[in-house]
Amino acid sequence: MGAIGVSLLKLGIKVSKRTIQRYLPPETSPSTSPSNQNWSIFLRNHADQIWACDFTQVHTIFFAPLFVFVIIELSSRRIVHTAVTSHPTDAWVAQQLREATPWGEHPRFLIRDNDSKYGTHFTAVAAGSGIETIRTPVRAPNANAFCERLLASLHRECLDHMLILSERHLARVVREYAGYFNHARPHQGIGQRIPVPPKVEPPQTGKIFAFPVLGGLHHDYRRAA
């Protein structure tokens, strides 16, 4: 009967459930829009449908600025796409989104900040792919915490230990780190699992070998097959 019926009973008024339902507003399904949900609840409920993207700046040994662009899938922590450029124009960023969404593979939502690099071309590509872009509030990096954490790890575990020679060199380094991040690095946020587990179950016994990553900066440990 609900709270209304109980309150009426306390007054000695007995009303049927159907009568109460007649005067209650119709039930509506909760909207999936983040504006109608707590942000953390929205991310938790739709993590498998959300990607996030962001930039970080790197300088070569000759002090030339370069920009690293990354896209990450929230639920698995998988790095979906990486790219490097010295001139991150709107058209260039739009092209990266095209390359990250081949054969119709795309998320429902894409989180981004308010950087001017995301212009009309980027917006058109996202809309054409059926992606709803979500802008984070101004000066609120925590709203894109997954990408911020990834970029912090990229610097702390890789770029801070490297002397970058050129755009091509940086692209190769970032690509190798992304492979390590996706296929070998455990993540606390997903229960110490790796974003892209092996297709074949690895052996549980046998000799363990260490495979150097990024020139020995990290190692990938595997058992002999």
**3-state per-residue secondary structure call for 80-107:** EEEEEECCCCHHHHHHHHHHHCHHHCCC
Residue 127 has pLDDT above 60, yes or no: yes
What is the signed CA dihedral for 158, 159, 164, 167, rounded to 10 degrees? 100
pLDDT of 128: 94
pLDDT of 7: 52
Q: State the Cα–Cα distance between residues 63 and 221, nearest whole angstrom.
A: 35
Give the single-character DSSP code of 196.
Answer: S
How high is the mean pLDDT of the chain?
A: 88
For residues 84-89, average pLDDT: 97
127-to-84, 92, 94, 123, 136 alpha-carbon distances in Å? 24, 17, 11, 6, 18
Q: State the Cα–Cα distance between residues 211 and 221, nearest whole angstrom.
A: 6
pTM for the model = 0.82
Tell me which H or E stretch contains 168. Answer: helix 167-183
Identify the band that residue 225 occupies on the pLDDT scale cut at 50, 70 and 90: confident
Tokens of 53: 């993207």
pLDDT of 10: 46
Domain ranges of the chain: 1-30, 38-200
pLDDT per residue as tens digits for the range 7-60: 555 455 666 767 766 766 665 555 556 656 788 899 999 999 999 999 999 999
**What sign does the dihedral 95-100-103-108 (CA atoms) show?**
negative
Q: State the Cα–Cα distance between residues 63 and 13, nearest whole angstrom.
A: 81
Look at domain 38-200 and name its CATH class. alpha beta
Residue 87 has pLDDT above 80, yes or no: yes
pLDDT of 11: 55
Give the single-character DSSP code of 88.
Answer: -
Q: State the Cα–Cα distance between residues 166 and 150, nearest whole angstrom.
A: 22
Phi, psi torsion values for 145, nearest 5 degrees: -65, -35
Residue 124 has pLDDT above 80, yes or no: yes
pLDDT per residue as tens digits for the range 64-85: 999 999 999 999 999 999 999 9
Count of CB atoms situated within 10 Å of the CB of 66: 21
